[in-house]
Amino acid sequence: QGRLVESGGGSVEAGGSLTLSCVVSGFTFVNQCFSWFRQAPGKEREGIAALYTGDGMTYYTDSVKGRFTISQDSAQNTVLLHMNSLKADDTATYYCAVDPVCNTLVNKWYWNALAAWGQGTLVTVSS
């Protein structure tokens, strides 16, 4: 059974930075799409970034473009989300997911099509 474990969340002041990690096990890491989405209290899930490990192609939603970077550490089977210039609106629980169809790479977030996601890690940004 595949598993994804997110970590790295915490509390930070506006303008600060955090790096989230997602360790992947039980899923093929090579030539695979992974994505990050978030959910704030009382709000719907929001897809924010995706990565294809085969060629490094990425997608970012407008609200995080230029501030967040998704990357991979293939030696550690880990997907990273580097977050800079954090804002209060970024406060949410962040999840990473496996997307075998790579829909998220073209900004199509079909939650039922994701193979799995982790338990999430909470990011709190104070203004």
Q: What percent of the chain is predicted at pLDDT more than 70?
A: 100
Dist CA 75 CA 78 (whole Å): 8
What are the tens digits of pLDDT across the range 23-51?
Answer: 999 999 999 999 999 999 999 999 999 99
Average pLDDT over residues 3-21: 98
| pLDDT recorded at residue 56 | 96
Average pLDDT over residues 103-122: 95
CA-nearest of 83, 75, 81, 91 to 34 is 81
What are the tens digits of pLDDT across the range 66-77?
Answer: 999 999 999 999
| pLDDT recorded at residue 12 | 98
| pLDDT recorded at residue 98 | 98
Rounded to 5 degrees, what are φ and ψ at 113?
-85, -10
Dist CA 103 CA 126 (whole Å): 33
1 pLDDT more than 90: no
